[in-house]
């Protein structure tokens, strides 16, 4: 499982508003989780209707987090065999440990880490339940995350770094002209995302996550109708899918992908 994105989490300063926004835009259901976070804060789980297994989580930014500079943002969780060892490996290879290994009772252990250019994500080792795991939705099923994208400080260095950290392999590279190479990366033989050097106007390196919706234009209307902002798109990408990049009403970046407009 090491190197697989297994969870996604939104930190926000308005939980009810964010929950309503994503329920409308993506089509998720939102349910309060029976357990609080390690800090004792309530936690909300997004799930695809009809599926008990959650797709993502939602929690509030605490005053202490805000003082430390935490702003509304999505963060991915990548499965690893040993959270503390992997966090140490990040630090030893030019990255940083932003939050040391922390237990989530009954769920697993995680740490927040950043790569050498500051893009952050969580490394996570879940407590595996007994018995068979629920069947995962097929790729590009509505409500799933269809793509992972790193706008890196340096695209080539970033790919080499993450290949070393997670064992990701190199897929096809697309020449984007003045913007450089858009490098696909794969986990377990399947392309799951792309990495490219960020543009000069971007304030820092960051990870973006593409939520799958049935039709893009209708979803974009739901974004703006719900108080969000369209940053780019609609744009057709290789393979025939359509994408758009957005900000939610609290300022968190996210993206949408669909098989048709």
User: Peptide bond preceding 234: is omega within 30 degrees of 0, i.e. cis?
Assistant: yes
Residues 221/175, Cβ–Cβ less than 8 Å: no
For residue 50, what pLDDT is reported?
Answer: 85
Alpha carbons 77 and 80: distance in angstroms, whole number:
9
pLDDT digits (tens, 9 = 90+) for 188-222: 999 999 999 999 888 899 999 999 999 999 999 99
The reply to whether 5-126 and 145-258 are identical in fold is yes
145-258 maps to which CATH number?
3.10.180.10
pLDDT digits (tens, 9 = 90+) for 161-189: 999 999 999 999 999 888 899 999 999 99
**Burial category of 232 from C-beta neighbours within 10 Å (exposed 0-12, middle 13-18, buried 19 and up):** exposed
Domain ranges of the chain: 5-126, 145-258
pLDDT band of 48, cuts 50, 70, 90: very high
The share of the chain scoring above pLDDT 70, in percent, equals 95
pTM over 0.85: yes
**Nearest to residue 259, comparing CAs of 223, 216, 221?**
216
pLDDT of residue 238 exceeding 80: yes
CATH of 5-126, one of 3.40.50.720, 3.40.120.10, 3.60.10.10, 3.10.180.10: 3.10.180.10
pLDDT digits (tens, 9 = 90+) for 61-77: 988 889 988 899 999 99
């Amino acid at each position: 499982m090491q190197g697989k994105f297994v969870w996604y989490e939104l930190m926000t300063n308005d939980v009810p508003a964010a929950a309503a926004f994503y329920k409308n835009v993506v089509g998720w259901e939102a349910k309060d989780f029976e357990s609080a976070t390690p800090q004792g804060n309530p936690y909300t789980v997004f799930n695809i209707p009809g599926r008990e297994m959650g797709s993502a989580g939602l929690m509030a930014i605490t005053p202490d987090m805000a003082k430390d500079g935490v702003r509304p943002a999505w963060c991915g969780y990548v499965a690893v065999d040993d959270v503390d060892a992997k966090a140490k490996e990040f630090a030893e290879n030019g990255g940083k440990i932003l939050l040391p290994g922390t237990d989530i009772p009954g769920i697993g252990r995680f740490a927040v880490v950043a790569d050498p250019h500051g893009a952050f994500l969580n490394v996570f080792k879940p407590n595996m339940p007994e018995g068979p795991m629920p069947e995962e939705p097929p790729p590009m099923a509505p409500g799933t995350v269809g793509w992972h994208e790193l706008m890196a400080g340096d695209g080539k260095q970033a790919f080499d770094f993450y290949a070393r950290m997670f064992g990701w392999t190199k897929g096809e590279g697309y020449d984007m002209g003045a913007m450089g190479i858009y490098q696909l990366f794969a986990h377990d033989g399947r392309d799951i995302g792309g990495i490219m050097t960020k543009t000069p106007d971007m304030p820092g390196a960051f990870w973006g996550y593409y939520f799958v919706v049935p039709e893009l234009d209708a979803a974009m209307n739901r974004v703006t109708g719900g108080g969000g902002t369209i940053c780019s798109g609609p744009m057709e990408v290789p393979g025939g899918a359509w994408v758009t990049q957005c900000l939610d009403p609290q300022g968190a970046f996210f993206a949408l992908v669909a098989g048709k407009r």
